[in-house]
Structure 1
């Protein structure tokens, strides 16, 4: 590098040191809150007064979204995952999310439990049994034959693809942007603050920034409402399995939503340390106990064998799974993608604002490399074990029942087509473990409690995040704002379920359709965030120090070679005269030849 480039690096270093915390007062932003609240209320009114109309519009918009933008969801997920890995493995991975030398705020075990329970706990419980079993009965198009050993391995690899690296990379992107901007640069926890390096402070604090924050609130609202709907459906299935009710209808689902909403609003008002951390640690224990029970009582040897096969299939098929896109030329694949991969990417994208902001708040003091490694590796391993125990166990039980011809023991009652009731399949599986009646009832109740706490853990953090975005990035938003968004989440979830119809399977379709459509605007925001975050990290003092040291070393070696005419020489450091302005050294060409003191 030339001396001019060296001077530019020094100038950039001085500017980075002059950055000062920029904090807006923690007060309600009437434009952000008002616009987002009006849209949320309008959606709820539409859903309750004309659910058929809402369902019809969502279905039409879904078809257009999948046909025209399905490829973009697939490409965006791959780009974000690759971007996060590059950042972590580069020299930027050494940058701390806070001051240099600052210790982590939370212990590693609590950090992992809060991060995991908030990120996808309710999804793993809802889909942990049903998704691999469904893929075993009805594999992805153009893959393997159904109900074969190959179908079992493909089913597990596909489920791991949906629940490991890609979704957590999306969470890591937002979490890294918020944590770096807040703890390293002193910015607010507004979503828009991450785009300051791209658009400038004037745009970020103006209408453009408000539009970004509104989109973040709406994405969070619909993502958490979808989770609430899934939790209500599965709790309803548990109530039916326990014999408390004969069937699940909209009235029962709305009642469950109301109870869950009251619980997570109360938890959110208690704060992170007393509420979310306490519930997360309890739920980790309950989830572990349930997994041990299924592992011991289910097809243990089958579960152990399926783990390495799943990893091998995931690695082997990852390029194919990450690159297949829906198109009108392949209607079967298009329908499958809209119900699975595209839905998952849209759902996880809608979760990124509140999951990302939440894991940022609990990750202060960790380096970027630690942050990314913890977020990508730990949940992926846990997802592998969870799906192996529950999904692999379900496939093992299904295979055993098929060989014996025992229809009553089959978790899927249809020989063809993979007819799976996702609401009750987990409880049906527990019923096949041979537990005594009283023990099975207790386990069913504990499982319902597990589902409820998983949702409460995620939804209370979502309410806090939406409240913070409404109040200019306040770390502790007012209770009134948190309660409003908590109640709005429950109301939106009820409207989404009503849009699907009275049948629970149709209600699940309604949740998926609206989630995919609502996530489209935020998809573009995440892609822009990759560019903005890279620019921020490239200007970090630690990166500039590294670049400056490299330039100095290269210049010293170059001049040493010239001075000694290519012969061996020794480089050493000596004390130099103090120069107040290092640029003078650059201007006079003496950066690498400072004279020692006399």
Structure 2
């Protein structure tokens, strides 16, 4: 390497201290966010109608696009993981990972899945069991039960993590290898558009990325709020409703804004490791008190069904017999993962310096996917088995309100109050840690530095809470789903070009490394001078 790590870190710190953290990208995105918030408050009914109409058109007209691009992202990531580029390191050739494997896994998992698994772990397999996907099986049959787990695996494993991996690898590579030292998505496009990333085109890319991130995080906050309210109702009789949900958002916002005021090593890292330990405790409890053999059988069969059905499920449109199911489930989940991609991708980029591309991609894809499969096999299979024996009480609750399903399920086991409190605490920690990570990413994207200042992060923290509240006021869970789909669509297009730009950069750097021009892999300082590469991110 041409500079030492200490010299490089010093240069980064100097740039960050002098950077304008409240430039045009910050003000434009804050302005757009406030327009959405005010429209939701002052024009609630027209806002709801316009949002639902737009999203309805997207689902009806662009479902094919979502299926194709998500399948492409999975193929692209697997290709890179096993290609010759897999040995390249995210940083200098001697760079060491900043975080250990357990801390790394805990942070990427809580950012990408945590709160969603608690929300859908019981509800989704049960809902598919009672209303099978595309009407393929008899409701309530053993075939419907297997199909429910198969589609839960499909929606929560390789495809979403491939989406995250595309953004995460691209941002990490350009930040730590090409030397932009920024989580801005626009920095990835320099091989395609050159110095125009510092102009209106680059700023437009960043604005779209930030808006998608904002809506994606707001969906996560909204889901967490609904489930905390449901848990408080089941355990303590607290009424379900908007007033309670607004209080939950306010209290949680105070928690994640306090966490955002601490360094990532103390805030998000500690919360993430705590959350993964508590999640394993809850999982282990259900393995012990639940039908363990059924869980193991369901896990094994679920993997087989998922693998054999991966290609058909990835491209299944029911073109000649369309049903609302595709838009309600697969398109919603794909849009949600794309909306979360700039947030989760940029965050896992931030915590992945020093890992090889192969280690990064396989770690991001395999470990969380296996954990999700275990989670759905334990919670989903147990819920289906139990639901049959109690006359559909859990599935009826899930149909009425998916947020209630987990706690209705836990009530059927011993120590309900203890497990309910554990689940509530776990949801809240996932809530706070995820939102804290969101403030870091939004602050970095809007400021152009890896470590945004406290005021920047707190501003985004307040806006995230306000937008989550507005989407809940707009139409509850449907409002959250519509917001995710609306924000995700333009970013999905950006991701396609991101793959192209990343591949060009990898190919160029690999060829140079093996051409004899350099004995070492491309380092931060050496590569960023090439092809008009700037010193740091000049846009603001």
2: distance between equivalents of 1:325 and 1:26? 48
1:59-458 counterparts in 2 under 5 A? Answer: 59-189=52-182, 190-200=184-194, 202-245=195-238, 247-325=239-317, 330-332=321-323, 335-399=324-388, 401=389, 406-407=390-391, 410-413=393-396, 419=399, 421-433=401-413, 435=414, 439-458=415-434
Superposition deviation, residue 547 in structure 1: 6.0
Superposition deviation, residue 546 in structure 1: 3.7
The answer for unaligned runs of 5 or more in structure 1 is 1-19, 501-506, 550-598
2: distance between equivalents of 1:166 and 1:102? 29
**Equivalent position of 1:558 in the other structure:** none
Larger Rg over CA atoms:
1
Which ranges of 4 or more aligned residues in structure 1 deviate by more than 4 Å? 20-25
1:465-544 counterparts in 2 under 5 A? Answer: 465-471=441-447, 473-500=448-475, 507-540=476-509, 542-544=510-512
Contact 2:215 2:484 in 1 (8 A): yes
Contact 1:130 1:420 in 2 (8 A): no
Superposition deviation, residue 268 in structure 1: 1.3
Describe the superposition over 1:442-470 as per-residue Cα deviations: whole angstroms up to 9, x where unpaired: 22111111001112111111111111111
2: distance between equivalents of 1:204 and 1:330? 44
Contact 1:106 1:362 in 2 (8 A): yes
Superposition deviation, residue 196 in structure 1: 0.5
Contact 1:70 1:326 in 2 (8 A): no
2: distance between equivalents of 1:469 and 1:269? 17
Compared CA separation, residues 413 and 352, structure 1 to 2 (3 A): closer
Superposition deviation, residue 101 in structure 1: 2.3
Describe the superposition over 1:117-171 as per-residue Cα deviations: whole angstroms up to 9, x where unpaired: 1111011110011001111111101422211111111110100110000110111
Superposition deviation, residue 323 in structure 1: 0.2
**Equivalent position of 1:592 in the other structure:** none
1: distance between equivalents of 2:178 and 2:168? 14
**Equivalent position of 2:527 in the other structure:** none
Give secondary structure in 2 for the equivalent of 1:325. coil
Aligned residues: 505
Compared CA separation, residues 420 and 137, structure 1 to 2 (3 A): farther
Compared CA separation, residues 28 and 283, structure 1 to 2 (3 A): same
Describe the superposition over 1:323-369 as per-residue Cα deviations: whole angstroms up to 9, x where unpaired: 01375x5342xx11111111111111111112111111111111100
2: distance between equivalents of 1:115 and 1:130? 23
What value does the CA root-mean-square deviation take over the aligned residues?
1.9
Contact 1:92 1:543 in 2 (8 A): no
2: distance between equivalents of 1:38 and 1:87? 38
The answer for unaligned runs of 5 or more in structure 2 is 1-7, 518-540
Describe the superposition over 1:304-325 as per-residue Cα deviations: whole angstroms up to 9, x where unpaired: 1101110111011111110013
Superposition deviation, residue 375 in structure 1: 0.4
Contact 2:123 2:395 in 1 (8 A): no
2: distance between equivalents of 1:57 and 1:297? 47
Superposition deviation, residue 103 in structure 1: 1.8
1: distance between equivalents of 2:105 and 2:341? 17
Give secondary structure in 2 for the equivalent of 1:162. helix
**Equivalent position of 1:576 in the other structure:** none
Contact 1:295 1:393 in 2 (8 A): no
2: distance between equivalents of 1:26 and 1:79? 37
By relative contact order (CA 8 Å, sep 6+), the higher-ranking structure is 2
TM-score normalized by the length of structure 1: 0.82
Give secondary structure in 1 for the equivalent of 2:138. coil
Contact 1:118 1:457 in 2 (8 A): yes
Contact 1:156 1:310 in 2 (8 A): yes
2: distance between equivalents of 1:141 and 1:548? 56
Describe the superposition over 1:447-497 as per-residue Cα deviations: whole angstroms up to 9, x where unpaired: 1110011121111111111111111x2111111111111110111011111
Contact 1:269 1:479 in 2 (8 A): yes
